[in-house]
Structure 1
Amino acid sequence: MHDVLIVGAGPAGSTAANLLAQAGVRAVALDKDVFPRFHIGESLLPIDLPIFARLGVAMDRESWQFKQGAEFIDERTGEFAFFSFADGLEGTPPHAWQVDRAAFDTMLCDVARSRGADIRFGERVQDVAFADDHVRVVTDRGEHRARYLLDCTGQDAMLGRGGRTIAPLHELGRAAVFCHFDDLSPEVRAELGEQGNIKVLIVEDGWHWLIPMHGGRLSVGLVKWRGKLDDDAFEAALAASPLCRRLTAGATRSASRTIRNWSYKNTRPSGPRWACVGDACAFLDPVFSSGVSLAMLGAERTVDVLVPALAEGREAAADLMAPVHATMQIAYDSFEQLIRRFYHTRLVSHLFFARTPDPQLRRGLISMLAGDVWRDDNPFQDMLRSSRVQPQRVTAPSE
């Protein structure tokens, strides 16, 4: 009998396992995969730095790519904008990291285990049943019982998809095709490695990502919110970009991969003795790299509510996680509004590429790009809240 059973050991699951172990809670995390395993989502945000410190995670330039900020580029017009995280509002962390997710996720699990967490790989959940006083989970290796269940299964969204409570978000990015380039030229490695910025190339109905990574690797992807997106469209977009051609000249390329239909919200993210965390709660278009950060921060807030509830025997309350969802909704709404304005308004031209942008709005935008969204002194965030472009309100799909 465990106190908490965590399904999924990605950034959300390993964060929860780490913090629960530090609090002395009996928890076990199960993941169907054997780590290290491939995952996309390689660009992190500065808002991760405080949770890294709490977890005991040490990031350094010897193993990871330092990320100073973000660049936005429109090769069709020649427009360019660079946002350094250090130029955000006071208190915004000044930098971030780019990571190989296979290595990063494994490192998070290793650190959690060093703190006493029980994490088990290669164990697939087959059935979940809730009783008044416990949760029963059947896997391909046996049976587990716990007082509480955390669904950290990422975009598999075990409970949401099983309960048919996943609602799509329309007119956000709906698909991506991507690949990796290795063995970049020494000149390109030096150019990209100095600042480590993510480069966002704006194209018709979407955008490219270019993410420099440690060891001379470049992650390149194409995202579209409408129109055809397949390998042929990806190849055409790469060929049409002078920057992509220059940076990848002579490099070794991996096969292309495709991810589809990712923008959604879970309309019922928690209940008696269970909660969904991270991508199992919601996932937005990745243009501003919010996925990993919101997953880890959501896990932190969930654990901070769950630990005292377990100690006091309150974990069965159906509304236990309501404060967590309210807090995380601020972040989801803020990023969704920013993404919708990015795609469907003149925000990029009027602010990102403005010749003389309002300095306070620019600083506020940078703090948002850094993931620092839980503050009440950001004029840019206030502007988003008053905008006619609002988050999509979703309800559970009908049976």
Structure 2
Amino acid sequence: MSTQVHDLSTMPNSLDVDVAIIGAGPSGAIAASLLHQQGKRVLVLEKQHFPRFSIGESLLPCCMQFIEEAGMLDALNAAGFQHKNGAAFRRNGTYTTFDFTDKFTPGPGTTFQVQRASFDKLLADTAQSQGVDIRYGETVEAIDLTENPRLTVRNEQGELYQINAQYVLDASGFGRVLPRLLNLESPSCLPPRSAIFTHVEDNISDASFDRNKILISVHPEHKDIWYWLIPFSNGRCSLGVVAEPQLLERLQGSLEQKLMSIVNEEPGLKALLANAKVAQECATLKGYSANVSRLATGKFALLGNAGEFLDPVFSSGVTIAMQSASMAAKCLTKQLNGETVDWQADYSTPLMQGVNAFRTYVQAWYDGRFQDVIFYEEPNERIKQMICSILAGYAWDTNNPFVKDSERRLNMIVELCRNPAATPAFAEV
């Protein structure tokens, strides 16, 4: 579907809608679709034009339930993206896998690995086909929350107009529009890290390489440096490395030279990508972890990365985005229908329960505790299924003890893995 074009010169100086959504990425498209299904007047404002590049290309199975909820599953299944059924990890020659169909939590066990440019456009186009109004090339310049939210928007011709809304959802991702405009930015508890990434024509000839799984590799000397390799259906892979900034600064040359030199420090990746050709200009993302002082009020809510972004290591970004979109849409539908909504109790607290579960395992990955669990050679099957559910995105399943009591349960397993002579590792806990 072609991008919808609007002649803004004929528009009035202000528009009245029920919900203004900033950003047409996954959280914005899903939220818009869900609210449109409920008969709400929704307007989506997107600064860029689609397709546009983004990272976060390895979806988690948990996402599929939100895509289905939004009526977008058929379009996704027909798009030809790379099937994904799990995750593979490699460290110092040890290779292990997690099969997302063998997990503790009910729900989809497979998903896709996607080029985000075409994936995000597919979701937005499908929302448009459902009747959602998406306007591209429009920038939110200011917001007034004195009464009902009033947005000042600038179009590509430089003209300003206003949108009067009953509510605003910020789905602007790393743009973080409302946190900037409303001074909601808050330091992340995670240390700053940087990523260098690109797409390659992988030319992988190793028959044992599983294109149905993301491969996460650990640097042989620095356990807090890791690599992603995400196969696509067109013979390409997304390739990236994540490290603390000073560890990447020691590398010499261009971004491409830096990336390939550190990739070649991991023997397994070096062998896999011996014939790879860089197919896209390398890019970098620095200091991406972010937090906010408040996620939602009776006038606005932050979705996905606009609220908090943890780290790309377990591909949680799009899952958190879609989870937040679904939760916010349900709360907002109630509020617009005249029901009372406590945005802290009904949205922020339950959303953060899953985010904080993810955070436990992100922090433990970098300090080595979770790596010891991932690479333990004789795991208990039941415990592995519980861990697998979290890796598959089901971080809101409080029936899973590794979600409900994530830090304590993880530390128990870490102790068992590190001291197998004292107690059988991965015993039922």
> Structure 1 length as normaliser, TM-score?
0.89
Of 335, 343, 363, the match for 1:320: 343
SS in 2 for 1:87: coil
Equivalents in 2 of 1:130, 1:290: separation in Å? Answer: 31
Matched, 1:257 2:283: yes
Q: In 2, are the aligned partners of 1:362 and 1:380 still within 8 Å (CA)? A: no
Q: Report deviation, 1:282.
A: 0.4
Q: CA deviation at 1:233?
A: 4.3
Task: Find the aligned partners of 1:281 and 1:65 in 2 and give their Cα distance.
Answer: 29
**Which residue pairs with 2:205 in the alignment?**
187
Q: Please state how far the C-alpha of 1:165 moved relative to its aligned partner.
A: 2.2
**TM-fit CA distance, 1:171:** 4.1
- Paired residue for 1:368? 390
How far is 1:258 from its partner? 0.3
| Conserved 8 A contact 1:128-1:136 | yes
Length, aligned pairs only: 380
Report the equivalent of 1:202. 218
What secondary structure is seen at the aligned counterpart in 1 of 2:83? strand
130, 138, 148: which one pairs with 2:153? 138
Counterpart for residue 131 of structure 2: 116
User: In the aligned structure 2, how far is the partner of 1:320 from the partner of 1:134?
Assistant: 16
Residue number among 276, 288, 294 corresponding to 2:314 in the alignment = 288
Alpha-carbon shift at residue 242 of structure 1 (Å): 2.9
1:129 aligns with 2:144: yes
Letter in 1 for 2:229: L
Does the Cα contact within 8 Å between 1:206 and 1:222 map onto a contact in 2?
A: yes
Q: How many Å apart are 1:191 and its aligned residue?
A: 5.5
User: Are the counterparts in 2 of residues 177 and 258 from structure 1 also a CA contact under 8 Å?
Assistant: yes
CA distance in 2, matches of 1:31, 1:355: 47
Q: What is the letter of the counterpart of residue 170 of structure 2? A: D
CA distance in 2, matches of 1:186, 1:243: 12
Written as runs of structure 1 = structure 2, the 5 A alignment for 1:76-155 is 77-140=92-155, 141=159, 142-155=161-174
Letter paired with 1:329: M
RMSD over equivalenced CA pairs, Å: 2.2
Provide the residue aligned with 2:197 in structure 1. 178
Taking structure 1 as reference, are residues 70 and 229 closer, same or farther at Cα in structure 2, changes over 3 Å only? same
Name the residue aligned to 1:168: 187
Structure 2: which 5+ runs fail to align? Answer: 1-15, 250-254, 412-429
- Mapped to 2, the partners of 1:359 and 1:156 lie a distance apart of 41
Deviation at 1:378, TM superposition (A): 2.0
CA contact (8 A) 1:302 1:321 kept: no
**SS state at 2:352 partner:** helix
2:259 to 234, 250, 263: 234
Cα distance change, pair 388–213 in 1 and its aligned pair in 2 (3 A): closer
Q: What residue identity is the alignment partner of 1:22? A: Q
* Contact 1:171–1:225 (CA under 8 A) maintained in structure 2: no
Alignment CA distance shift 1:96-1:387 (3 Å): same
Q: String of CA shifts for 1:345-393, please: whole Å, max 9, x gaps.
A: 43312x211121122221110000011122233233355242698xxxx
Q: Which amino acid aligns with 2:66?
A: I
Structure label with greater radius of gyration? 2
Of residues 277, 291, 302 in structure 1, which corresponds to 2:328? 302
Q: Which ranges in structure 1 are unaligned for 5 or more consecutive residues?
A: 390-399
Deviation of residue 87 (structure 1)? 1.3
State whether residues 313 and 362 of structure 2, in contact with CA within 8 Å, keep that contact through their aligned partners in structure 1: yes
